[in-house]
Amino acid sequence: MTGSGGIWRDFARRLLRNRLAAAGGLVILFFFLVAAFPALFTSRNPDRIDVSVILQPPSAAHPLGTDDLGRDVLARVVYGARVSMKVGFVAVGIATAIGLVIGLLSGFYGGRVDAVLMRFVDIMLCFPTFFLILSVIAFLSPSIVNIMAVIGLTGWMGVARLVRAETLSLKERDFVAAARAQGAGTARIVFRHILPNALAPVLVSATLGVAGAILTESALSFLGIGVQPPTPSWGNILTIGKNYIEFAWWLSLFPGLAILFTVLGYNLLGEGIRDAADPRLSGR
């Protein structure tokens, strides 16, 4: 653990020097601001119906056009960002927490504990994640809370395997042996010495996981079993758009671009974190 502050400073310096990662971070920051402060980007109510402007193309009054009920698409895309970000962060938070606990227990204790937990991980990995989510959602009401919980509870296996691998390596290091020699307990060794040094791959996985969770939520909403109208979601805006794609192109284009740039931003940042955590991967 000696010099961990310097390690994290070097990590931050390498990350900031990565232009693609910085670009991804700026994109994420922009959509975070959109989600946190929607009133800064639109003054319209996303649920307000106006039959006099049904399926109007982009104009000065409605920069991104209107939908089949005359609702402002810009307002719905802006407020839909809040749903997507919330689902992404909460779902990944659940998955990361579960993965950390299982990975640390498996890697640190080894033996039968490791065998049982890893066989459970293998069983979970046998099920196609998206179809598992579809099956669970089919028995639950399709609400934001249920979607966040289901995505989180079905997405922790990768984190668990990463943390286990890091823990198996770290527990044999000299600083862990020194902590044991000084009388440090198991909890202190795990949370004070092993966990901080195992976080780099977890950060990469979590960053990429947010992108995956946003895509999953959008896909579920597009299929009609995700976030339910009138709550705006990028996925359910696309659902409306597919019915009018021949002439109301803006209903598909703008929420599609929002999904594209958000997922791209998280992927670029995740790759940058990976390279900064292990400079050998980027040739530095």
| b (16+ CB within 10 A) / e for 130-156 | eeebeebbeeeebebeebbbbbbbbbb
Q: Is the pLDDT of residue 246 over 90?
A: no
The pLDDT of residue 8 is: 66
User: Do 32 and 266 touch, CB atoms closer than 8 A?
Assistant: no
The 10s digit of each residue's pLDDT in 210-225 is 999 999 888 888 888 8
**At 279, is the pLDDT very low, low, confident or very high (cuts 50, 70, 90)?**
low
pTM for the model stands at 0.85
d(CA 125, CA 133): 13
- What is the token pair recorded at 284? 């530095």
- What is the token pair recorded at 184? 């440090």
The pLDDT of residue 249 is: 93
| Least confidently predicted of 55-69, 102-116, 173-187 | 173-187
The 10s digit of each residue's pLDDT in 143-157 is 888 888 889 998 899
d(CA 209, CA 197): 20
The pLDDT of residue 181 is: 80
Q: Is the pLDDT of residue 88 over 50?
A: yes
d(CA 168, CA 229): 47
Per-residue pLDDT averaged across 248-259, rounded? 93
| b (16+ CB within 10 A) / e for 212-238 | bbbbbbbbbbbeebbbeeebbbbbbbb
The pLDDT of residue 94 is: 94
**At 138, is the pLDDT very low, low, confident or very high (cuts 50, 70, 90)?**
confident
Q: Is the pLDDT of residue 5 over 80?
A: no
d(CA 204, CA 197): 14
Burial of 183: CB neighbours in 10 Å, binned 0-12, 13-18, 19+:
exposed
The pLDDT of residue 7 is: 62
Q: Which residue has the tokens 């959109």?
A: 34
Which residues make Cβ contacts (< 8 Å) with residue 4, sequence separation at least 6?
A: 196, 197
Report all structural domains of the chain as residue ranges with CATH numbers, in order of start.
4-282 (1.10.3720.10)
Q: Which residue has the tokens 């659902």?
A: 239
Q: Is the pLDDT of residue 1 over 70?
A: no
- Angle at 282 (CA atoms; ends 281, 284), nearest 5 degrees: 105
**At 2, is the pLDDT very low, low, confident or very high (cuts 50, 70, 90)?**
very low
d(CA 203, CA 187): 22
- What is the token pair recorded at 64? 């991104």
Mean pLDDT value across the chain = 86
- What is the token pair recorded at 34? 């959109």
